[in-house]
């Protein structure tokens, strides 16, 4: 069950969220993790996007969690998320001075229209705690799948 397995990243004027709807447990990724499908939402000012067929892997979320925890704890550095199936979502989070955070978003829809969206938004480190908590819950979920399939 993938109920409430989601990642939420908030900027002052933006929201990036993906809800995991299906985990592919029948085939592992090259690293022993899982692929997943979900719904991706991106909002920035008046702009809204919904991708009903977003794909990525547990390895991408695990790596993003490690990098995000590092910049949150040290108040410096950057964290990157890259959807590693279709390379259609890239997030770059940079920690600046005094807990200031810059989020760069690049999204590409590989449909016939070939839609590309890029923007930046600001936030502060307090908003990252919710994202880290979401990622930890997702990580626990993926680990429980590994245990139950062994």
> What are the residue boundaries of the structural domains of the chain, listed by start?
6-149
CB 38, CB 21: distance < 8 Å: yes
Q: What are phi and psi of 11, to 5 degrees?
A: -110, 175
Residue bearing the bigger pLDDT, 14 or 109: 14
**Rounded Cα gap, residues 56 and 6, in angstroms:** 13
pLDDT for the residue 34 = 81
Contacts from 91-99 at CB under 8 Å and sequence distance 24+?
91/9, 91/16, 91/64, 93/9, 93/68, 93/128, 95/71, 95/125, 99/75, 99/124, 99/125, 99/126
Q: Does the structure show a pLDDT above 90 at 15?
A: yes
**Rounded Cα gap, residues 83 and 105, in angstroms:** 12
Q: Name the pLDDT band for 90 (thresholds 50, 70, 90).
A: very high
Mean pLDDT of the chain: 87
CATH architecture of the domain formed by 6-149: Roll (2.30)
Angle at 134 between CA 76 and CA 82, to 5 degrees: 65
CB 68, CB 91: distance < 8 Å: no
pTM recorded for the entire structure = 0.88
**Rounded Cα gap, residues 15 and 103, in angstroms:** 10
Specify which residues 105 forms β-bridges with.
Answer: 91, 119
């Amino acid at each position: 069950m993938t109920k409430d397995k989601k990642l939420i990243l908030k900027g002052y004027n933006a929201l990036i969220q993906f809800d995991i709807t299906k985990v592919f447990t029948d085939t592992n990724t090259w690293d022993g993790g899982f692929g997943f499908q979900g719904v991706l939402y991106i909002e920035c000012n008046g702009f809204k996007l919904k991708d009903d067929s977003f794909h990525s892997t547990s390895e991408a979320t695990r790596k993003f969690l490690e990098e995000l925890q590092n910049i949150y704890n040290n108040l410096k550095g950057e964290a990157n998320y890259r959807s590693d199936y279709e390379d259609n979502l890239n997030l770059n989070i940079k920690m600046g001075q005094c807990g200031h955070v810059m989020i760069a978003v690049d999204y590409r829809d590989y449909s016939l229209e070939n839609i590309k969206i890029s923007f930046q938004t600001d936030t502060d480190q307090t908003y990252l705690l919710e994202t880290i908590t979401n990622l930890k819950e997702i990580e626990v979920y993926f680990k429980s799948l590994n245990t139950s399939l062994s």
